[in-house]
């Protein structure tokens, strides 16, 4: 029986995220090619890892059809030029797809079954709108298991406002505005660009171009502008486009390894896995899912929320993040939270986002040796939450001055 191994996030890269739809930069790009680009970029940056050392490839997608079908892990591995001896598979946990890819590959490494693995996700929401071709079982509604509106993420966000009236629209608007500002400041400071893989694209006119930045940012966002936006999910509601993640195309990929492989290959890991957890909640209010999953991950790690020095929380909706912060007694504008902005600004290509959170946390760890632990967390459709706690290998025990 193999001994339990430490698990390390060695590195991660992603494509720039694009607006979904005919006007988006990836309209003429295949979904699997986005995942291929992220994989090639990651392997090229980690050239000391031989391709034949990859034990498995897990790639997530929420809509596994068309150019997001055909067992993505396997097909992308072949298309990316990895040896055909490397297997692969596909995963679906809706928004937490890539996070689940990392969790499952990490568990395989921890148990000693794998040594090195790739884990990521892709979503082309322009080609495959959320829920397209889905056929929910009629028993959900007929037997009153789930409210029909539970499949509308915007409606579930409105219900968080209903449940917690003190989490006002104004607070959500301000959070959305700050996300845009922080993302723009991060771009101007060159924080995000090092982990982006440029992608060759073609426009409607056939002209070639190069995608190098996230397309959907709106740094000019103001509170006045947000206050005037329509509430598409409910008349006189509180959730708007300015406090929601936009429909997005993009792909992410991470390289994971066990302790022995790290030493053998001379790798310099960016994070060490501490714990992960997933939890279920009522589908009608799915946005609170990260609360119990974070409590579970903290319990497994023997930690308290006060031990977390950096947070990367997916901004499916501003209210969803605020509800978690409020639960744990953390201010909406706490500098530990999403300091380089989040999905409201850069986009949320569903199954890809989990690794985007990890990439940003890893980059922040490198700058913050005073921080020991960080959290990546997100809500999941149909009432789930996912959380992963990481340790900073650069931690020096000194408090920041």
Give yes or no: 124 in active site.
Answer: no
Q: Which of 254, 248, 183, 253 is nearest to 211 (CA)?
A: 248
Q: Which two tokens stand for residue 66?
A: 């068309």
Of 95, 124, 127, 161, catalytic: 95
Active-site residue, selected from the candidate residues 124, 127, 161, 348: 348
* 379 labelled catalytic: yes
Helices first, then strands: H and E counts in the chain: 12, 12
CB count within 10 Å of CB 201 equals: 18
Residue 378 makes CB contacts below 8 A (sequence gap 6+) with 95, 96, 99, 290, 313, 314, 316, 353, 354, 357, 385, 386
- Cα pseudo-dihedral 234, 376, 215, 157, rounded to 10: 0
Kindly state the tokens that stand for 109: 């490494």
- Of 387, 339, 316, 308, the C-alpha closest to 160 is 316
Half-sphere exposure of 251 (CA within 13 A, CB side): 32
C-alpha to C-alpha distance for 120 and 107, rounded to whole angstroms: 15
Give the helix/strand (H/E) hosting 96.
none
Active site residues: 95, 348, 379
């Amino acid at each position: 029986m193999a001994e339990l191994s430490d698990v390390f996030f060695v590195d991660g890269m992603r494509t720039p995220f694009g607006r979904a739809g005919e006007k988006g930069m990836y309209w003429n790009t295949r979904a699997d090619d986005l995942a291929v680009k992220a994989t090639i970029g990651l392997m090229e940056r980690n050239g000391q890892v031989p391709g034949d050392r990859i034990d498995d490839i897990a790639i997530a997608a929420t809509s596994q059809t068309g150019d997001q079908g055909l067992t993505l892990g396997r097909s992308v591995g072949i298309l990316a030029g990895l040896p055909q001896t490397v297997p692969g598979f596909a995963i679906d946990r809706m928004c937490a797809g890539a996070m689940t890819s990392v969790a499952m590959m990490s568990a395989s490494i921890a148990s000693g079954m794998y040594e090195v693995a790739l884990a990521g996700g892709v979503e082309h929401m322009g080609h495959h709108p959320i829920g397209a071709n889905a056929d929910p079982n009629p028993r959900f509604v007929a037997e009153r298991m789930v409210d029909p509106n539970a499949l509308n993420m915007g409606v579930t966000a409105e219900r968080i406002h209903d449940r917690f009236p003190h989490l006002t629209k104004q607070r959500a608007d301000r959070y959305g505005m700050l996300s845009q500002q922080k993302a723009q400041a991060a771009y101007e400071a060159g924080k995000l660009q090092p982990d982006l893989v440029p992608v060759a694209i073609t426009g409607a006119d056939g002209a070639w171009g190069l995608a190098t930045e996230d397309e959907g940012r709106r740094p000019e966002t103001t509170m006045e502008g947000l206050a005037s936006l329509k509430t598409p999910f409910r008349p006189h509601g509180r959730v708007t486009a300015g406090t929601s993640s936009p429909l997005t195309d993009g792909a992410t990929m991470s390289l994971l390894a066990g302790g022995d492989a790290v030493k053998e290959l001379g790798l310099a890991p960016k994070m060490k896995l501490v714990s992960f957890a997933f939890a279920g909640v009522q589908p009608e209010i799915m946005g609170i899912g990260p609360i119990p999953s974070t409590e579970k991950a903290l319990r497994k790690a023997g930690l308290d929320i006060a031990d977390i020095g950096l947070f990367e929380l997916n901004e499916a909706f501003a209210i969803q993040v605020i509800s978690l912060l409020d639960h744990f007694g953390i201010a909406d504008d706490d500098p530990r939270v999403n300091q380089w902005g989040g999905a409201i600004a850069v986009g949320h290509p569903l199954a890809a986002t989990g690794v985007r959170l990890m990439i940003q946390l890893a980059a922040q760890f490198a700058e913050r040796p005073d921080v020991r632990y960080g959290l990546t967390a997100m809500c999941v459709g149909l009432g789930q939450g996912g959380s992963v706690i990481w340790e900073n290998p650069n931690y020096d025990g000194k408090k920041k001055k």
